[in-house]
Structure 1
């Protein structure tokens, strides 16, 4: 799921700093990312202090860090990296993307202080690349599974009888569109998946929001997870 933010500089490859205490994890990420001609891994760090120093020295666009990186908690790491003006006072600061096994209070607080993305450590290559490019284009990225975890943490969402009754008002196509919206797909991506035009997707989204009495796509995602329409373990 992407949310609008300010974009990264568009000239040259996306400069990424990898931060993880496990060397094999860093090797794996570097191998995957280095296969992309528009991505450049500029350095690595094994703990929080190294990450901050390397970020100052190497001036990455994105810092991809383990949320449980030793030495600094996720909140402090995010604050220190996003506040040092890594590319000068007039250039965008580095974006911090956390990789985590699940949501906890530190990860939620990191969202508040400015983390640009959260991925599960079990994400596949396509989702990792998608997240990096989404952030380059000025969006925040939250893995669909993470959205469900956040909703559970904040609201304690459970399956609702009213939600089930509301779902019965949707056509099969509208349910399909809602599922794909909840998985973070854009209208264009939904159209490609379902082999329908983007205007048709927009119509189905509008009808779905109207029938479910929802204000926007964010509420639609919350509704889908709350009512079990999306299997969190399989979404993304």
Structure 2
């Protein structure tokens, strides 16, 4: 299997140097370049074709959200495989990180996460799965359950059956399929089927988008 090509976008030179050293210490990862702002990130993605991009949210020239949108849009326009974008954030709960996921990012991690967690996150998103920062799922739902006056649930929410809403709430709390199966006395295959239907009805890509959807629409955590 070929090594995973990792690119980094962050406006802090010391942080970029540290991440580069970390990536280059791994046999299965290759450092594919770095950029200090969003505009340079778009050019880097087109030039280096990384598999995974670590993307800071707050940057000069073009922020990480807009850069992510452009990078994914250009890849789609050119008919090539887009990089998986992993957002870097300073806060457990960052609305900008949530917006980046809506823009197409595969998840987000904290900048001060343990190196092993970051490396695992890179490998996880490269496999096509989503990653969300530790404790962030709980924090997102805690905010959502306070009634923050966000957007009302869209009409598609009404299309969910009572059982699907139960599955939604448990998935939004960060429970795995096995944990949901145990809580609801269901088989894991049944949970997977329900979750797939929930994502399809709501037009969501994965569990991370599900968590953000719950946060943005003040939906109950079950």
TM tier, smaller? 0.5 to 0.7
Partner of 1:52: 42
Judge conservation of contact 2:35–2:44 (CA < 8 Å) in 1. yes
Partner of 2:157: none
Judge conservation of contact 2:138–2:173 (CA < 8 Å) in 1. no
Q: How far does residue 184 in structure 1 lie from its aligned partner after superposition?
A: 6.6
The one of 114, 124, 128 equivalent to 2:114 is 124
Judge conservation of contact 2:137–2:172 (CA < 8 Å) in 1. no
Deviations 1:19-44 (A, max 9, x none): 11111101110111111111111101
Q: How far does residue 57 in structure 1 lie from its aligned partner after superposition?
A: 0.9
Partner of 1:27: 17
Judge conservation of contact 2:137–2:173 (CA < 8 Å) in 1. no
Change (3 A) 1:87 1:62: farther
Higher CA-based Rg: 1
Partner of 1:144: 134
The runs of 5 or more residues in structure 1 that have no matched partner are: 1-10, 158-180, 188-201, 228-236
Residues paired across the two proteins, number: 170
Partner of 1:65: 55
Judge conservation of contact 1:78–1:115 (CA < 8 Å) in 2. yes
Matches within 5 A, 1:108-123: 108-123=98-113
TM-score by length of 2: 0.65
Q: How far does residue 152 in structure 1 lie from its aligned partner after superposition?
A: 3.0
> For the aligned residues, what is the CA RMSD?
3.2
Deviations 1:112-137 (A, max 9, x none): 12111200111101111111111111
Partner of 1:207: 182
Q: How far does residue 76 in structure 1 lie from its aligned partner after superposition?
A: 0.6
Q: Distance in 2 between matches of 1:37 and 1:87?
A: 32
TM-score by length of 1: 0.62
